[in-house]
Structure 1
Amino acid sequence: MLRLRALFLPVLLLLASLWTPAFAQSEGPLVLAAASLQEAMNAAADGWAAKGHPRPKISFAASSALARQIEAGAPADVFVSADEPWMDEVQAKGLVRKGTRVSFLTNDLVIVAPKTKPQRIAIKPGFPLARALGNGRLAVGDPAAVPAGIYAKQALTKLGVWDSVKDNLAPAENVRAALALVGRGAAPLGIVYATDARAEPAVTVAGVFPASSHPPISYPVAVLTASRNRDAEGFRRYLISAEGKAVFRKFGFGTK
């Protein structure tokens, strides 16, 4: 018996040493997140990692681009959209794990100007946005697909000024690209989220859109059907927890 124990002990020790890499998942979930979430989502990922979990890997882009990646079979685990319609589309195709979709963040829509050329604009029906632009263009996320651009078009249409500026747009691939155009002075004005304006020291807020001028800005999160990462659901729960929401509030987001 002692001889058998001596024979098998090294094997058992070897199996024990292999247990962790073989059975424990060492990689965090892949999160596809709206571009406007960059600073806040990275901070949330750091908070999750500080609890002893593998840090999530995060890919930022326009929600429209991320939704198309998911539909094309991207091996992602969690999706956080800057609007409900793009999550609706992904869910309608059976790509969202049942029972995991939750809307948890809100935001405001603002007009920004370069800090070197600040403006103050009273946003109300019929306000002279075209005059404020002068010969420049209005930087926006592509209003045909990017949530921030869609919200912008909805707001400007409701306020009766869309027709006056629709031919003078600088459409960008996502809201951060629109923000960058204003930050470097390539556009005199842009429409972005309030949280984006806080993240870019080179811009200043020229005006805030009334909440009634556009549908509520809402960020849903969900685990994707194809996910096999055991931390995906845990990270989603962390994001919507009181602790997770507190992280986003530090960056200016509203929470639900």
Structure 2
Amino acid sequence: MTASRTRRAWMAGLLLALTAGSLPASADEPVTVFAAASLKTALDEASAAWTQATAKTTRISYAGSNALAKQIEAGAPADLFVSADLAWMDYAEKNGTIRPDSRVNLLRNAIVLVAPKGSGRKIALEPGLDLTKALAGGRLAMGHVDAVPAGKYGKAALEKLGAWDGVKAQVAQAENVRAALLLVARGEAPLGIVYATDAASEPGVEVVATFPEGSHPPIVYPAALTSESKNADGAAFLSYLRSPAARPFFERQGFVVIGTEKRT
């Protein structure tokens, strides 16, 4: 090969390398989803069904909504963000990491008090609640009360019932709601506050009581495409999650499907 031909080949290779990063994502690229930990069971099933129906795939990362929102803000590649509360989606929208026109409210949930399976406990969640006796020196497992949505909902409910001040020194704060659930399932905490859907997915716990709806803000799961996504299948997967075909996977775990309702 002559020097000029070698130079032209090298320049062509360089141009290809420089432009590759600006090309749209491959149609075969998995849809990368960042989703609240409490969605794992239902979303895994929905994703598998979508793959079976379309031959397209997903790559799902589960964690606390706070951690996921911060990871997306830091540049972590994601196509779709599903939060367990409105506040962290508001955060993502404010910092420009989601597409506001794609944002929808997807699901509703409830929070419950759980104990290890077979405990036989029943506790009335009413004003004047005192959990210290029920804990008997043990810990109350919750998501981090200042960041993890389930923890924030739980703290709000305990404050509303007048129980927070008496129990706050005994709270074991976990990085996400599934980690809090595991503490109870393993018997490392006698009580925990988790979503009703988490309790339904874990055979090692039983529901002691359900917190009254009025004791905490409404539990809403919003979803949105990220502003940096180049994968056209992200919108298709979000549309599927809102469709009647995906409804049974969420309802089987105890979620209430909002469907096409827009955020308020």
Q: TM-score, normalised by structure 1?
A: 0.89
In 1, Cα distance between equivalents of 2:195 and 2:73: 26
- The 8 Å contact of residues 143 and 149 in structure 2, kept in 1 or not, is answered as yes
In 2, Cα distance between equivalents of 1:132 and 1:29: 45
In 2, Cα distance between equivalents of 1:115 and 1:202: 5
Q: Where does residue 38 of structure 2 map in the other structure?
A: 36
- Choose from 252, 255, 263 the match for 1:253: 255
* Runs of at least 5 residues in structure 1 that lack an aligned partner in the other structure: 1-21
In 1, Cα distance between equivalents of 2:184 and 2:25: 49
Task: Report the residue type matching 1:146 in the other structure.
Answer: V
Q: Where does residue 181 of structure 1 map in the other structure?
A: 183
Displacement of 1:118:
3.1
In 2, Cα distance between equivalents of 1:233 and 1:129: 45
Q: Where does residue 191 of structure 1 map in the other structure?
A: 193
* Cα-Cα RMSD: 1.3
The 5-angstrom pairing of residues 83-98 of structure 1 reads 83-98=85-100
Q: Where does residue 100 of structure 1 map in the other structure?
A: 102
Note the alpha carbon deviations across 1:188-236, whole angstroms, 9 max, x for none.
Answer: 0000000000111010000110000000000000000000111000001
- The 8 Å contact of residues 122 and 207 in structure 1, kept in 2 or not, is answered as yes
The 5-angstrom pairing of residues 17-56 of structure 1 reads 25-56=27-58
In 1, Cα distance between equivalents of 2:107 and 2:54: 25
- The 8 Å contact of residues 125 and 209 in structure 2, kept in 1 or not, is answered as yes
* Runs of at least 5 residues in structure 2 that lack an aligned partner in the other structure: 1-23, 259-264
The 5-angstrom pairing of residues 112-151 of structure 1 reads 112-151=114-153
Q: Where does residue 159 of structure 1 map in the other structure?
A: 161
Task: Report the residue type matching 2:239 in the other structure.
Answer: R
Q: Secondary structure of 1:120's match? A: coil
Q: Where does residue 200 of structure 1 map in the other structure?
A: 202
In 1, Cα distance between equivalents of 2:34 and 2:25: 25
Q: Where does residue 19 of structure 2 map in the other structure?
A: none
Matched-pair identity in %: 51
- Answering whether residue 112 of structure 2 is matched by residue 110 of structure 1, we say yes
Displacement of 1:255:
1.2
In 2, Cα distance between equivalents of 1:63 and 1:169: 20
- Choose from 44, 51, 61 the match for 1:59: 61
Task: Report the residue type matching 1:181 in the other structure.
Answer: L
Displacement of 1:23:
8.5
Q: TM-score, normalised by structure 2?
A: 0.87
In 2, Cα distance between equivalents of 1:227 and 1:247: 26
- The 8 Å contact of residues 25 and 230 in structure 2, kept in 1 or not, is answered as no
In 1, Cα distance between equivalents of 2:192 and 2:253: 20
- The 8 Å contact of residues 28 and 53 in structure 1, kept in 2 or not, is answered as no
Note the alpha carbon deviations across 1:91-139, whole angstroms, 9 max, x for none.
Answer: 0011111311001101111000001423111111112211111110100
Q: Secondary structure of 1:242's match? A: coil
- Answering whether residue 165 of structure 2 is matched by residue 169 of structure 1, we say no
Q: Where does residue 229 of structure 1 map in the other structure?
A: 231
**How many pairs align?**
235
Note the alpha carbon deviations across 1:43-99, whole angstroms, 9 max, x for none.
Answer: 110111112232111000000000000110111000000000000000001111131
- The 8 Å contact of residues 34 and 80 in structure 1, kept in 2 or not, is answered as yes
Q: Where does residue 209 of structure 1 map in the other structure?
A: 211
Q: Which runs of 4+ in 1 moved over 3 A?
A: none
Displacement of 1:24:
5.1
In 1, Cα distance between equivalents of 2:73 and 2:158: 31
Q: Secondary structure of 1:99's match? A: helix
- The 8 Å contact of residues 25 and 231 in structure 2, kept in 1 or not, is answered as no
In 2, Cα distance between equivalents of 1:80 and 1:51: 22
